[in-house]
Chain A
Amino acid sequence: MKCSRRRFLTNTSALIFTTGVAGTSLVSTRNATASEDNVINKRYGMVHDETACIGCTACTEACREVNNVPEGVSRLEILRSEPQGEYPNVDYRFTRKSCQHCENPPCVYVCPTGAAYKDEKTGIVDVNKSRCVGCGYCLAACPYQVRFFNPVDKSADKCNFCRDTNLANGKQPACVESCPTNALVFGDLNDPASEINQVLESKVVYRDKVHLGTKPKLYKVPHQKGEI
């Protein structure tokens, strides 16, 4: 009996010791994963493949429809070059002009009311319309010239990757959805498995005005036609 009591005590203490350590380690690992989730935010970016773009401007129209952009202004434009070559071998180059969602957004830095902000959870640069006073400082500060005054609500407006519309409904941005040649790829730059990261790894890309230090998140695959 004496022997069995000692054994009982050692066994229980051993049990408590092992389960306790395991339990605390379990809890601690769970905490660790939870804290990682909080730390790693999304960082949305986009790739415009100029070799695939045909300049149909379906993206511009889709954006206008989804985001209720009034006529006369646009969040997204496709710029067409002058004709290249001689008939019948004439070609054009297209490039996208829209918000680059800079990591160092000049528009946000200059906004006096804090209406322009960068959403840290997604990396999207957006405008809080109720705080915008329409001073136009952001329009002047943007090196990409993509901001404009919305003629209806008089506030500064721009692309926000369909944050309130398509993205909120779990869909891709309207421009990406509408593109007939899949020239646009949208996704999380922080997710190594995302399609956008695969495209960025496999293709040569460039960004506009990188020397300004704005760190834009709109990547472009350069067209490979005509003189550069």
Chain B
Amino acid sequence: MGSFKLTIAIMLKLLFAFCLSGYSLHAIADESVIADKSSPARHEVTLIRDRDYKCTQCHKDSKETLSGSHGENAHESLGREVNCTNCHNNIGPDHRDGAPLVTKFSSAQSQPGTDKTLLSQEEILQNNGQCMDCHTNRYLRSKSWTHDVHAQNLTCSNCHTVHASKAKVLSADHKSQIKMCVDCHSDFNQLKEER
């Protein structure tokens, strides 16, 4: 009889201990769930592929120089990074063979000059359209009146460097800026007189 009572007492104690441990486990589990909810819920999937990776394998400095002119400011107004193909589209299959198809931004003017590329006014207007999608006419006029008179006579790169922070006309002081006007205008004026 004595041993029977002892076994019942031990079983009751074990049951009690089992309940206690179960309760404490449940409490720990509850707490951990609460902690999970307070941290950012989901992992956001981002595109880690570099769109310009292929370009910068050869054009090594281009991305860096571009950040000078089309860096944070452009990022802010566009809401995204400026990529190579935003401007240099139409790369073409024979890109490594002189790249005849890709959109380039070189100097050209509508009036003949020595050592100058000549384009028609329509072509110049069309070529500058890429830049003027963002750099609107009104903004350009507020910066300098010379944009107005050259709108269909010069491509932007005559006076500006697209891949640099402060270059060409933007880096020049007042006197050097005037010299840029004088150099070009006296050049084609001379040609006119020779005819």
**Is the pairing of A and B real?**
yes
Interface residues on B, range: 10 to 19
**Secondary structure dominating the interface of B:** helix
B182 and A56: CB pair below 8 A?
A: yes
B77 smallest CB distance to A (angstroms): 21
Q: Is B189 an interface residue (CB 8 A)?
A: yes
Chain B interface: which of A11-19, A39-47, A176-184?
A: A176-184
Contact A181 B149 (CB under 8 A): no
Do the beta carbons of B178 and A57 come within 8 Å of each other?
A: yes
CB of A90 closer than 8 Å to a CB of B:
yes
Is B127 part of the binding interface, using a Cβ–Cβ cutoff of 8 Å? no
The interface residues of chain A, by DSSP majority, are classed as: loop
Task: With CB as the reference atom, state the residue of chain A lying closest to B185.
Answer: A180
Asked if B141 contacts A83 (CB within 8 A), the reply is yes
Asked whether A61 is an interface residue with its Cβ less than 8 Å from the other chain, the reply is yes
Contact across chains for B181 and A180 when beta carbons are under 8 A apart: yes
Instruction: Take A56-B181, A61-B175, A180-B181 as given contacts and tell me if A92 and B145 are in contact as well, using a CB distance cutoff of 8 Å.
Output: yes
Residues of chain A contacted by B141 (CB below 8 angstroms): 83, 90
- Chain A residue with minimal CB distance to B141? A83
Which residues of chain A are within 8 angstroms of B149 by Cβ–Cβ distance?
54, 90-92
Residue from A55, A90, A180 with most neighbouring chain B CB atoms (10 Å): A180
A129 within 8 A of B: no
* B106 contacts A by Cβ under 8 Å: no
Inter-subunit contact A87/B137 (CB<8 Å) = yes
Complex: A15 Cα to B179 Cα, angstroms: 71
A87 lies within 8 A of B186 (CB): no
B84 within 8 A of partner (CB): no
Q: How far is the CA of A67 from the CA of B179 in the complex (A)?
A: 19
With A83-B141, A181-B189, A182-B189 already in contact, the answer to whether A88 and B125 are too (CB < 8 A) is yes
Chain A residues positioned under 8 Å from B145 (CB to CB): 55, 80, 83, 92
Interface: B148 (CB within 8 A): yes
A58 interface residue, CB < 8 Å from B? yes
User: Could you tell me if A58 and B178 are in contact, using CB atoms closer than 8 angstroms?
Assistant: yes
Q: Does B152 contact A (CB under 8 A)?
A: yes
Q: In the assembled complex, which residues on chain B have CB atoms less than 8 Å from the CB atom of A182?
A: 189
Chain B positions 122 through 159: 1 when the CB is less than 8 Å from some CB of chain A, otherwise 0:
00010000000000010001000100110110000000
**How far apart are B195's CB and chain A's nearest CB, in angstroms?**
15
What is the 8 Å Cβ interface bit string for chain A, positions 56-73, against chain B (1 contact, 0 not)?
Answer: 111001000000000000
Q: Are B148 and A180 in contact (CB under 8 A)?
A: no
Contacts of A91 in B (CB 8 A): 148-149
A160 and B171 alpha carbons, distance in the complex (Å): 34
Q: Which residues of B contact A90 (CB under 8 A)?
A: 141, 148-149, 151
Q: Which of A112-153 contact B (CB under 8 A)?
A: none
Q: Which of A87, A178, A182 has the most CB of B within 10 A?
A: A87
Which residue of chain B has its CB nearest to the CB of A85?
B148
The 8 Å CB contact of A180, one of B137, B174, B175, B182, is B182
- List chain A residues, Cβ under 8 A from B183: 180
- When chains A and B are docked, how far (Å) is the Cα of A227 from the Cα of B133? 31
- Which of A90-118 touch B at CB < 8 Å? 90-92
Further 6 A-B residue pairs, CB within 8 A, beyond A91-B149, A181-B186: A55-B145, A56-B182, A56-B185, A58-B181, A80-B145, A180-B185
4 smallest A-B Cβ distances: which pairs?
A: A180-B186, A90-B148, A56-B181, A88-B151
Which residue numbers of B lie inside 8 Å of A, CB to CB? 125, 137, 141, 145, 148-149, 151-152, 174-175, 178-179, 181-183, 185-186, 189
- 14 of the cross-chain contacts (CB-CB < 8 Å) are A54-B185, A56-B181, A57-B178, A58-B178, A58-B179, A80-B145, A87-B137, A87-B151, A90-B151, A91-B148, A91-B149, A181-B185, A181-B189, A182-B189
